[in-house]
Amino acid sequence: MKVFINDKEYNANPDETIIELCDKVGIHIPRFCYHKHLSVVASCRMCLVDVEGVKYAQPACSTPLRDEMRVSTGSEKTKIAQKNSMEFLLINHPLDCPICDQGGECELQDISLEHGDDHSQYMQFKRVVVDKDISPLISTDMTRCIHCSRCVRFGEEISNVKELGLLNRGEDMKIDVFIEEGVSSELSANMIDLCPVGALNNKPYRYKARTWDLKQICGISPHDCIGSNINYHIYNNKIVRAVPSENSEINQTWLSDRDRFGYEGIYAKDRAEKTLIKVDGKLVEIDFDSMSHQVNDLISKNIKEYGQENIGCLISGQSTSEEHFLFQKIFKKLGITNIDHRTKESDFSYQDSYPIMPSLGCNLNDLKKYKNIILVGVNVKTEYPVLSIRLNALAKNNTKVYSFNFNSLEENFSLHHKQIITHDNIDLFLNTSNFSLENGETLFIIGPSVSRSPNQSSILRKISEFSSSIDANIGFLTEFCNSTSGWLLGNLPHRELGGGKPRQIGKNSYEMIKSHLSSYIFYNLEPEFDFFNKQDLEHALDTSKCNIFFTSYITPIIEKYADIIIPITTFAETDGGYINIEGTYQTFQPIVQPSKNIHVGWSILNDILKLNNLGDYSIDEIRGELAESLDGLNFSTPVSDMSDINSNNDMENVIVHDLSRETNETDLIVRRSESLRQVSLMNKKINNKNIISQSDNLQTNVTK
């Protein structure tokens, strides 16, 4: 279809609107209510443009193009129409830009400067809207609201959690919360980005800096395996804010609240900032420069005294791929086979039949090819909020989503069938009568509650047998953001880098803890939360002869049992990379500089490698070798058969209990985010209130 914009000819698709084509070819049209991911309401009238042959200017966001249409985005008619709309929009706006956090990045400010007038005919008092404290994450100045309804449509269409609504009409129209307690969903802060004025703002960032003073560096989410792209904003070497970095393949334009506010955890009070060594039962500080020698001497001494088989090496699935690469390299070359990253698991009979790494089995954009998606052991809403946006869109588009989980947590998309796995139905839930799969391809997505189950092998075998019988594929969602690297790079007792078999099989994490080894080396792990059984771990730490902790935080257990504490960088202070659940390796650079006594994680591992004459790498050399050793591996192929899993546990003996994680409490950084902790408290209050009101209803019914 041939159309003319400003007298230039363009080819347009049949159902394209004027604004869509103009955005595609780079012609600017001002807008407030329009957003490419939201439905079109055409309420603000800011996008009015001159269409040849039509008496009045037309909204570009809702006017479809037709053959031979001629549009002018800069004619006098367009300019007057846009100026008039601007004047109406500013009638009640307080024009308080100097004290507004949105100043400098405000769509209203920019558009009024470009398309508005410098005076108003409106001489009456402006209306004022009283503010409410709606969330620990979002501050409101509702007098600034221009009623574009983007925030409302986000809740209705994208997150599927209706938290804000438009109340009343005319002069009394206002945005307000649906539930009195406020806004607390896992994606709520996306409304801050959507708001084109300063009505909804980032509360923890409030008055911290002006936007033009910020430096922006792109990072990758360390909080889930989706790998959302994030722009961190830095002021005086401190992260003050995080916003989404658009990536249409991964997080589109969205970010979970966890990804947005998790960075607060790097400024926690218990950050490890000194290298400490235990002398006469007390931790004393040692010199920064001699630290690598001291750690290396300690490791050599342990190997000599207790033998390699009595040393256990454990690394977090949240560590970077570069750290994973060096960690396995050092300890495998030193002859240690007890290496693992799966610290929250206890049943490992599945491990020989497991794919080379856990993977979703397809790209996120390709999920749409599946007509049936069966979730097992995962609550997407709380554990992978950004993924829930995609599943919501798929569920609306006729994909049948099923959920089988150990708890009753709600999802924010419609489920075709939902079942809580209990002792009575564990063997029965994989039953064709629970599904209507006749309409196309099927994908199982196995979540972290399965991997943390003491009988995960039985469950995996059962799913594998069933999926083979219905010709379905299997994909995974992992507990940590980079468990993929743990598998792929060989931080396992039974596999080498790239999936090869080692000469000797070592102990898995559970065996290491249970068998009370002489010495343990922990990398980036929090003993209080990152292990299958905290009591067992404490017992093992108590009986061991030496405990070495590479850590970003000093927790009470670390303080009590550590023989040496090496303070290491978090994701924000180092070069690194994560392999997301699609198999995409995304790298990042340091966002801020660490304080002077903190060691860069990969660099200290490299020092140990060097001291043992086992190699010496730059970050680029690590990445080069890492990419070389993984080249040609097809780890994104969906798994279809794991039925040869060796499982000693029959399904009847499967231990069923609620393995769900507390909302927002996923990793050691998120746990320390004060804003997210407040949201968590708010959610608990809402849940308690719901329980009380449900029991009130019950009592009323009983009385009746």
Residue ranges that bind ligand SF4, judged by CB under 6 A: 145-151, 175, 194-195, 197, 199-200
User: Three-state secondary structure along 626-652?
Assistant: HHHHHCCCCCCCCECCCCCCCCCCCHH
Nearer to ligand SF4, 174 or 416 (CB): 174
Q: Which does 27 bind (CB under 5 to 8 A by kind): ligand FES, ligand SF4, none?
A: none
Report in angstroms how near the CB of residue 148 gets to ligand FES at its nearest. 7
Cβ distance 449 to 659 under 8 Å?
yes
The nearer residue to ligand FES, 42 or 268, going by C-beta atoms, is 42
Measured distance CA(232)–CA(263) in Å, rounded: 9
- The first and second tokens of residue 477, run together, are 């969602």
**Beta carbons of 510 and 499 less than 8 angstroms apart:** no
Piece in contact with ligand FES (CB under 6 A), picked from 32-40, 235-243, 487-495, 684-692: 32-40
Which residue lies nearer to ligand SF4 by CB, 71 or 197? 197
Which window, 26-34, 240-248, 431-439, 610-618, contacts ligand FES (CB under 6 A)? 26-34
Considering only residues 343 to 382 of the shown chain, the ones binding ligand FES according to CB under 6 A are: none
Residue 12, SS3?
Answer: coil
To ligand SF4, the closest distance from the beta carbon of 189 in angstroms equals 13
**Shortest distance in whole angstroms from residue 62 CB to ligand FES:** 6
Answer left, alpha or beta for residue 157, where phi above 0 means left and psi between -120 and 50 means alpha.
alpha
Residue selected from 5, 18, 27, 31 as contacting ligand FES according to rule CB under 6 A? 31
First to last CA, the chain: 67
Q: Which does 134 bind (CB under 5 to 8 A by kind): ligand FES, ligand SF4, none?
A: none
Number of helices (H) and strands (E) in the chain: give both, helices first.
19, 26
Cβ-based nearer residue to ligand SF4, 164 or 373: 164
With respect to ligand FES, which residue has the nearer C-beta, 146 or 360?
A: 146
Question: Are 445 and 378 contacting, i.e. CB atoms less than 8 angstroms apart?
Answer: yes
Residue 200 contact partner, candidates ligand FES, ligand SF4, none, CB within 5 to 8 A by sort of partner: ligand SF4
Round to whole Å and give the CA distance between 491 and 325.
8
Contact between 461 and 444 under an 8 Å Cβ cutoff? The reply is no
Applying the rule CB under 6 A, the residues between 60 and 89 that interact with ligand FES are 61
- Cβ atoms of 26 and 10 within 8 Å: the answer is no
Among 10, 32, 402, 520, binds ligand FES (CB under 6 A): 32
* Those residues with Cβ within 8 angstroms of residue 195's Cβ, 6 or more apart along the chain or in another chain: 102, 148, 150, 151, 201
CB of 29 to ligand FES, least distance (A): 8
Asked whether 423 and 437 are in contact (CB, 8 A), the reply is: no
Task: Please say whether the beta carbons of 71 and 48 come within 8 A.
Answer: no
Beta strands, E only, 269-351: 276-279, 282-285, 311-315, 339-340
CB of 63 to ligand FES, least distance (A): 9
CB atoms within 10 A of CB 84: 15
Closer Cβ to ligand SF4, 164 or 604, answer by number:
164
- Interacting partner of 150 out of ligand FES, ligand SF4, none (Cβ under 5 to 8 A depending on kind): ligand SF4
Give which of ligand SF4, ligand FES, none residue 42 binds (C-beta under 5 to 8 Å, depending on kind): ligand FES
**Smallest distance, Å, CB 58 to ligand FES?**
10
- Of 82 and 190, the one with the shorter C-beta distance to ligand SF4 is 190
One-letter amino acid for residue 114 of the chain:
E
- Min dist CB 144 to ligand SF4, Å, is 7
**Which of ligand FES, ligand SF4, none does residue 175 bind (CB under 5 to 8 Å by kind)?**
ligand SF4
Structure tokens that stand for 341 in this block: 């990253």
The alpha carbon torsion through 608, 613, 614, 619 (nearest 10 deg) reads 60
Which residue in the set 3, 5, 47, 622 belongs to the binding site for ligand FES (CB under 6 A)? 47
Instruction: Pick the closer one to ligand SF4 by CB: 77 or 147.
Output: 147
Residue 151: name its binding partner from ligand FES, ligand SF4, none (Cβ under 5 to 8 Å by kind).
Answer: ligand SF4
Report whether 122 contacts 175 (CB < 8 A): no
Give residues with Cβ within 8 angstroms of 228, minimum separation 6.
220, 221, 244, 247, 250, 251, 254, 255, 256, 259, 386
Task: Give the one entry of ligand FES, ligand SF4, none that residue 197 binds, where binding means its C-beta sits below a cut-off of 5 to 8 angstroms depending on kind.
Answer: ligand SF4
> Which position among 27, 44, 364, 391 is part of the footprint of ligand FES (CB under 6 A)?
44
Closest approach, Cβ 94 to ligand SF4, in A, equals 13
DSSP of 229-283, one letter per residue? Answer: EEEEEEETTEEEEEEE--BTTTTBT---HHHHHGGGGGG-TTB--S-EEEETTEE
Provide the token pair at 346. 């206890």
How far is residue 402's CA from residue 418's CA, in Å, rounded to a whole number? 6
Which is nearer to ligand FES, 116 or 385 (by Cβ)?
116
Q: Are the beta carbons of 261 and 272 closer than 8 angstroms?
A: no
33 binding ligand FES? (CB under 6 A) = yes
Q: How many residues bind ligand FES (CB under 6 A)?
A: 12
* Residue 46 touches ligand FES, criterion: CB under 6 A: yes
Q: How do 58-59 and 174-177 pair as beta strands?
A: unpaired
Q: Which is nearer to ligand SF4, 197 or 564 (CB)?
A: 197
Q: For ligand FES, give the closer residue by CB, 33 or 158.
A: 33
Residue 46's binding partner among ligand SF4, ligand FES, none (Cβ under 5 to 8 angstroms by kind) is: ligand FES
- Spatial separation of the C-alpha atoms in residues 480 and 318, rounded to whole Å: 5
Residue from 34, 325, 522, 571 touching ligand FES (CB under 6 A): that is 34
Least gap, CB of 191 to ligand SF4 (angstroms): 6
Residue 8's beta-bridge partner residues?
5
Nearer to ligand SF4, 200 or 472 (CB): 200
Minimum distance, C-beta of residue 107 to ligand FES, in the bound complex (Å): 11
| 499 token code pair | 């999936």
Residues that bind ligand FES (CB under 6 A): 31-34, 42-47, 59, 61
